[in-house]
Chain A
Amino acid sequence: DTGVSQDPRHKITKRGQNVTFRCDPISEHNRLYWYRQTLGQGPEFLTYFQNEAQLEKSRLLSDRFSAERPKGSFSTLEIQRTEQGDSAMYLCASSLAPGPGANVLTFGAGSRLTVL
């Protein structure tokens, strides 16, 4: 297992286009989190899944954002009608619950979005 994988690493798009990011967590991890990070800021929570169930979404997550984890393995984060303010690093992290593993997030390298 090579850890948490994210694809693509960098996406450049024009305003108004849709983009999709994929995350493959550590295989035995049942929890998967999405965060957004802008320059000079810490990761900001977007949403998280336990298995295939989306258990929580940030109030900051507009209707243009949707995330899925259809079989409880990989997850996708789609942003529709992108805006320049969506430019950020999108981080995926996973953990194993219950137990002490739930207290530790393992992050992927991130997917950087640039909206022109």
Chain B
Amino acid sequence: QKEVEQDPGPLSVPEGAIVSLNCTYSNSAFQYFMWYRQYSRKGPELLMYTYSSGNKEDGRFTAQVDKSSKYISLFIRDSQPSDSATYLCAMLVGNQFYFGTGTSLTVIP
């Protein structure tokens, strides 16, 4: 079993839709939870990171962590074509980062 599981998609939604991206994990020692966005042939860029269970909001993006269920989510409101990318969840324990496989998202104008 992988440390971090993420549905690879692909996910295709119309512009303006609410997008929900999810990851599950098995290691209860994970301390920090991150979401990265990666455009084709580019390096990942950090979108959000959080430490505790609950919600964290930044503009159109909301990150949600449920440590009891070992489940994290990223919600994108009012999705735009420019949101089309691969979204990677990542988790940190100690000095080690563990990444999901990424979910490919396409927002159709």
Contact = CB atoms under 8 A, between A and B. Distances in A.
Interface of A: 4, 6, 31, 33, 40-45, 48, 55-56, 89, 91, 93, 97, 102-110, 112
A106 B46 contact: yes
28 contacts: A31-B95, A33-B97, A40-B101, A40-B102, A41-B102, A42-B4, A42-B99, A42-B100, A42-B101, A43-B97, A43-B99, A44-B99, A48-B95, A55-B95, A56-B95, A89-B41, A91-B44, A93-B43, A102-B95, A103-B32, A103-B51, A104-B34, A104-B46, A105-B90, A107-B43, A107-B44, A108-B43, A109-B42
A56 B94 CA distance: 12
Interface residues of B, number: 25
A89 B86 CA distance: 15
Given A40-B101, A42-B90, 15 more contacts: A6-B43, A31-B95, A42-B88, A42-B99, A42-B100, A42-B102, A43-B97, A43-B99, A44-B99, A55-B95, A91-B44, A102-B95, A103-B49, A105-B90, A110-B43
